[in-house]
Structure 1
Amino acid sequence: MSKELKTGIVAVIIIFIFIWGYNFLKGQNLFDGNTRYFKVEYSNIGGLTESSLVTINGLKVGKVVDIAFNKAADKKGELIVRFSIDKDFQFSKNSVVKIYSPSPLGGSNLAIIPHYEGEDAVSGDYLKGQIESSLFTSIGERLDPIQAKLEDVMVSADSLFRNVNKVLDTNTQQSLKNSVTSLETTLKEVKKMMVSVNGMINATSSDLKESVKNTKTITANFAKVSDTLAKVNIGEIMKKAEVSLNSVNKMLEGINTGKGTIGKLITDETMYTNLENASKELEELLREMKLHPKRFVHFSLFGKKAKAYTPNKDTELEKEANN
């Protein structure tokens, strides 16, 4: 073998090794026949770079091979991402390729969300693309409306402060100072009043304790009385009272019907008339004894006999006494 032939063979081997190494570093394995290549379009790749990982359900299955602008006139500015899959995993053309960020500080990767309905995807097919919002993107999307609202609030606050400055002229400021001074004086008076109230409470605390003690004693006495009343046979007492009332009713009924001395006295008119006549005669007897005591009583130290009764003379003396 000539020296030139050896040199050519070595040069071809070196070139092949260089091409293989270059493609290997780009994520392409020339000796792997199962490698498939797919494309997906994005309007924004969110930090995706060549050699970014491609995963299915968290498992690394390939790498991003190339990222280039779309040359179509109606899709200027769109980006075409070409990636390879080394694993022999079948999925349909309806699968979705999503750009996601595994960490806030790391780069972006591709995640294939496989679908199995429909025609199987083959090397060279275009798949549907989606972008998953990262932490900072989500925060930014939420902060944008808040920022707009804060700007509106700041403008409103600025207008409010301007109006307040217009209202708070020198006289108003002086009035506010006077009001604050009056409020301070009022608070001092309230403080003094509270001190006085505390003193009164402290002074009457012993009386309150004594009142509470008396109340407890009264409550205990009431409890004893209630216990005593609970032990008393109320039913027996009521029966006895009922018997007594029946006896009184019978007695009153007898009086009304004229039974007994009281009943006869109340119902018998003859007895009432006799009593009235006896009362009149007793009254006349007492008057006679008062006017003529000598008729009934005679007393003499020397044994002198009593004078005989002369009706005419006595009648005249009685008339004179009546006159």
Structure 2
Amino acid sequence: MSKELKTGIVSLLIIGVGIWGYNFLKRQDVFSPNARHFFVEYANINGLSEASIVTINGLQVGKVDQITFNPSPEKKGTLLVRFSLQNNFEFSKNSIAKIYPAGLMGGQNLAIVPSYSGDKAVSGDYLQGEVKSDLFSSVGEKFNPIQDKLANVLVHVDSLVVGFNQTLNQEARQSLNRSILGFEGTVYNLNKTMRSINKLLEDNKSKIDVTLDNTKKITEDVSKITEDLAKAELGKTIKKLEATIDNANGLLVGMKEGKGTLGKLVSDDKLYTNLANATKEMEELLREMKLNPKRFVHFSLFGKKPKPYNEENNNKNVSNDK
């Protein structure tokens, strides 16, 4: 064999090994030319790259071959992903090709979510595309609406502050400062008063304790008195008192109706007049006995008669002998 032939064979082997190595690095199997390939359209592939693996139910069944922009003018800007499957697993055209994060370190893979309803998918068909957000993207998506709302709130707060500054002129600001200083002074005085009260309580703690003890003792005494009253036959006493009041009321009613001596005395004017006249005559008789005792007790050896009753002298409280 000539050297030129050997050189040609070695060159072909080197070229073949190079092509195989290149495809191996791209995860392409040059020994499986009959592998099925499919297409998926995405608006954003979230970092999916060529040679990313393709899985079905977690099992690696293929790889991404090519990622290009869609040449169709109607779908300008969309990305067209071509992937191949070396597995004969069958699924329908309604299956979904979902991009999902490969791990926390980054990278994206493609997963086929198989559907078995509808026509069977064959090589060259288009599948529905879907993107599963990773942790940071999910947080970002959820934070974006909050960020927008926060921005709106900040704008309103800024407007409020501007309006507040425009409303508060120099005089109003000075008045507000004085109010704040006055409130600070009030708080200081309140703290001072509280300290004074605390000191007063500490200084009179013993007296307060004694007062509380006395109060407790008084409470106990009152409780004992209440208990004694509860044990006493208070009901019977009250009933007797009610009976006495009823009797007194009956007596007063009888007096008012003229029953009995007191009733007649109270209601009969004639009896009252006679009694008053008798009292007056008794008073005059006693005065006459005091002024002229000789008229009632007479001792005379010579037969001298006492002077007769003189009403004028009696009224003047003067004796008849004068």
Shorter-chain TM-score bucket reads 0.5 to 0.7
The whole-number CA distance in structure 1 between the counterparts of 2:121 and 2:295 is: 167
Within 5 Å, give how 1:158-237 maps onto structure 2: 193-237=193-237
The residue aligned with 2:56 is: 56
Contact 2:52 2:64 (C-alpha < 8 Å) held by counterparts: yes
Letter in 2 for 1:96: I
* Number of aligned positions between the proteins: 308
CA gap 1:185/1:229 in 2 versus in 1, 3 angstroms: closer
Contact 1:90 1:120 (C-alpha < 8 Å) held by counterparts: yes
The whole-number CA distance in structure 1 between the counterparts of 2:87 and 2:304 is: 174
CA gap 1:295/1:61 in 2 versus in 1, 3 angstroms: same
Letter in 2 for 1:39: F
Letter in 2 for 1:237: T
The whole-number CA distance in structure 1 between the counterparts of 2:258 and 2:189 is: 85
The whole-number CA distance in structure 2 between the counterparts of 1:185 and 1:250 is: 74
The residue aligned with 1:132 is: 132
The residue aligned with 1:79 is: 79
Contact 1:62 1:85 (C-alpha < 8 Å) held by counterparts: yes
The residue aligned with 1:285 is: 285
The whole-number CA distance in structure 1 between the counterparts of 2:251 and 2:183 is: 85
Cα displacement (A) at 1:66: 2.6
Corresponding position: 1:149 with 2:181:
no
Cα displacement (A) at 1:96: 1.5
Q: TM-score by structure 2 length?
A: 0.67
Within 5 Å, give how 1:7-18 maps onto structure 2: none
Letter in 2 for 1:132: K
Letter in 1 for 2:113: I
- Deviations along 1:264-292, one digit per CA (max 9) or x if unpaired, are 76678897687566545533432332232
The whole-number CA distance in structure 1 between the counterparts of 2:154 and 2:283 is: 122
The whole-number CA distance in structure 2 between the counterparts of 1:47 and 1:26 is: 17
Cα displacement (A) at 1:97: 0.9
Letter in 2 for 1:226: T
The whole-number CA distance in structure 2 between the counterparts of 1:199 and 1:289 is: 86
The gaps in structure 2 that reach 5 residues or longer are none
Per mean C-alpha deviation after superposition, the further-off stretch among 263-272 and 72-81 is 263-272
Secondary structure of the residue aligned to 1:117 is coil
Within 5 Å, give how 1:251-262 maps onto structure 2: 258-259=259-260
The gaps in structure 1 that reach 5 residues or longer are 300-304
Corresponding position: 1:310 with 2:311:
no
Q: TM-score by structure 1 length?
A: 0.67
Cα displacement (A) at 1:202: 3.4
Per mean C-alpha deviation after superposition, the further-off stretch among 17-26 and 122-131 is 17-26
Contact 1:104 1:136 (C-alpha < 8 Å) held by counterparts: no
CA gap 1:251/1:72 in 2 versus in 1, 3 angstroms: closer
Contact 1:27 1:84 (C-alpha < 8 Å) held by counterparts: no
Within 5 Å, give how 1:65-144 maps onto structure 2: 65-141=65-141, 142=143
The whole-number CA distance in structure 2 between the counterparts of 1:107 and 1:194 is: 67
Contact 2:291 2:319 (C-alpha < 8 Å) held by counterparts: no
